[in-house]
Amino acid sequence: MTTTFKGRATEAFFGRRMGKPLRELQTERMKTLLPALQVDLSTGAPANIAELFLVPVDRVRLEIGFGGGEHLIHRAGENPNTGFIGVEPFVNSMAKLLTQVEETGLKNIRVYDDDATQLLDWLPDASLDQIDLLYPDPWPKTRHWKRRFVSQVNLERFHRVLKPGGLFCFASDIDTYVNWTLLHCRNHGGFAWTAQNASDWMTPYQGWPGTRYEAKAKREGRKSAYLTFLRV
């Protein structure tokens, strides 16, 4: 099923939107906390997106497809002066994140609950310091590769919204997706891969807490790559 936003069909989301029914408290948070934290795309973006946050922030970082939210919550706690926008269309994951936001009391998180391309197109030029795309849906079958979030169109979106010198971080356990991303970034021309040697891309990012999807990949014997690109 596709959803529409301002007349546009969902462009880059092909997954499930909902799993098992939410518990009562989760439903309540979706009704109350989600509207408070949700970025409202129906009004123009502030010229300075730091204004989206209740607390003063000097950097803004976007996480696309935060899943269980463990990385987003960890990073937001670790970097109180950074504002985080987390995007996740899967309802149960959003509900889980809202619980964690409530429990931790973190004030430097905003969210968006639909296709990240919509948020990317709303953001002003050069407004982000970092984009994290961690274990995006791998679409391992060749005939599904065109569904992968990394594409020339989305790299162009990243390039527009990242500040010069901003970072695009991509982690995956799927070799073909890692190669795909390296190739797409090279062909785009606006991203410089920062790795100097193999240990740079085989070593998790500093302070890395892991993610739920990564834990599953590890259990199944797959190793991950952690790519960092500089927006040039």
Ligand X SMILES: C[S@@+](CC[C@H](N)C(=O)[O-])C[C@H]1O[C@@H](n2cnc3c(N)ncnc32)[C@H](O)[C@@H]1O
Positions touching ligand X (CB under 6 A) are 12-13, 15, 64-68, 87-90, 93, 115-116, 134-137, 149, 211-214
CB-nearest residue to ligand X: 65
Q: Which is nearer to ligand X, 58 or 69 (CB)?
A: 69
Q: Quote the least distance from Cβ 212 to ligand X, whole Å.
A: 4
Q: Closer to ligand X by CB, 51 or 175: give it.
A: 175
> Judged by CB, which is closer to ligand X: 90, or 229?
90
Q: Which residues have a Cβ under 8 Å from the Cβ of 197 and sit 6 or more positions away?
A: none
Angle at 37 between CA 55 and CA 161, to 5 degrees: 75
Identity of the residue, 121 or 137, whose beta carbon is nearer to ligand X in the bound complex: 137
Q: How far is the CB of 88 from ligand X (least distance, A)?
A: 6
Q: Which residues are the active-site residues? A: 137
Tokens representing residue 149 in the block: 């979030």
Half-sphere exposure of 14 (CA within 13 A, CB side): 11
CB of 2 vs ligand X, minimal distance in Å: 12
Residue 209 C-beta: closest distance to ligand X, Å: 11
SS (H, E, C) the chain: CCCEECCEECCCCCCCCCCCCCCHHHHHHHHHHHHHHECCCCCCCCCCHHHHCCCCCCEEEEEECCCCCHHHHHHHHHCCCEEEEEECCCHHHHHHHHHHHHHHCCCCEEEECCCHHHHHHHCCCCCEEEEEEECCCCCCCHHHHHHCCCCHHHHHHHHHHEEEEEEEEEEECCHHHHHHHHHHHHHHCCEEECCCCHHHHHCCCCCCCCCHHHHHHHHCCCCCEEEEEEEC
The residue among 5 and 53 lying less far from ligand X, judged by its C-beta, is 5
